[in-house]
Amino acid sequence: MNYDIVRNKRVLVTGGTGFVGSRVVPLLLRAGAQVTLLCRKSSHTENYPSSVRVVRTDLCKSQDFLPAFCECDIFIHMAALLFGLGWQDYLRANCGAAQNLASMLRAAGDRGPKRVILVSSLAAAGPCDSNEGRSETEPCEPVSAYGWSKVLTENIFRAAAQDRLVILRPPIIYGSGDLGLLPVYRGLARGVGAVPGIGRRFPVSILHVDDMAQAVFLACMDKARGVYHLSDGDVWGMADFYQAAAKAMERKAYIFHLPLWFMGLTAMASSGFAQVVRAILAPGKRAPNWNLDKFREARQCGWVASNRRIVEELGFRPTQNLQSGMAETISGYKSFHLL
């Protein structure tokens, strides 16, 4: 990897303490970048060296970080709400932050970053079950509130950053440190897993978090332009993904193919209970990982992406296949006694 891409560059990052950010920031530091984090007051940054500058702020409301925009060469936006109970959650968190950040980009003008990288999602592009995968040239067809929030976020940034903008749309990202898939792994450790639909494969694209970090790094290149879809280059059935996790845990797991109507009922129950808890007991409580919006995505034909463009234009080369990536994932969880 050519570290000269970001050497001595001033890089401003959101989401730097999250799952993907925890791999991106160390990579930037190894490459010689000067990193500044925009994060919440509650974010844990003690694992980063003192050379990392931390600006604690509210991405949706505050505009006190304009100087940070004016000083940076590259801006990487990774912070996002992944699990919400409905449109309002996603609009407030994802689109609200995008509007505020876009106003900062406009205010910075020519003093602002020369490159803006937005980590979006394949949910913005829409479902696909072909082995060729969904390409960047196809129109966006989101099916969930989360997917629509990502489309709106892309458009907000596109209007503000114009040709400075690079958009990355990853599929399922996995690896040690991801709390989103942890309930799935814990179920597989007990010998069971569930995939949506009876009599179908539900094909998906996946990407290990280390390769996601590589894609973000390559997007810093001057020649990076437009939208890039990401994957490890293979197409997997969801059951294949689960079995690989069970094998890495040295467990034998039975994978249930649940009817969609039943999964819809469980998602409705989960969302309804969370709404009651939020309304009565904990107004700020986050949404459960399994909810109606995630069911809207699970009921589709599949989620397959073509990574051809980023491979051909930027030299993206995934380093982890499903076997090695899942071995790292499970090993990491065990080291923190989460499995």
CATH number at residue 311: 3.40.50.720
pLDDT of the residue at 277: 84
* Residue 198 placed within a domain: no
Residue 280 sits at φ, ψ, to 5 deg, of -105, -45
Note whether residue 21 is domain-resident: yes
Q: Note the pLDDT of residue 192.
A: 94
Q: Has residue 225 been placed in a domain?
A: yes
Handedness of CA 32, 36, 41, 43 (dihedral sign): negative
* Axis-axis angle for helices 238-248, 182-189 (nearest 10): 60
* Regions of the chain with pLDDT less than 70: none
Q: Is 139 among the domain residues? A: yes
Coil, helix or strand for 117?
strand
Examine residue 286 and state whether it is found in any structural domain, yes or no.
no
Beta bridge partners of 10: 34
Q: What's the pTM?
A: 0.95
Does some domain include residue 249?
no
Query: Within a domain: residue 59?
Result: yes
Domain that holds residue 87: 3-178+205-235+303-320
d(CA 161, CA 157): 6
Is residue 259 in a domain?
Answer: no
Question: How confident is the model at residue 210, as a pLDDT?
Answer: 97
What is the DSSP track for 20-71? THHHHHHHHHHTT-EEEEEE-TT---TTS-TTSEEEE--TTT--TTHHHHHH
Q: Is 241 within 8 Å of 188 (Cβ atoms)? A: no
Tell me what pLDDT residue 173 has. 98
Question: Which pLDDT score is estimated for 3?
Answer: 83
Measured distance CA(84)–CA(90) in Å, rounded: 6
Domain count, the chain: 1
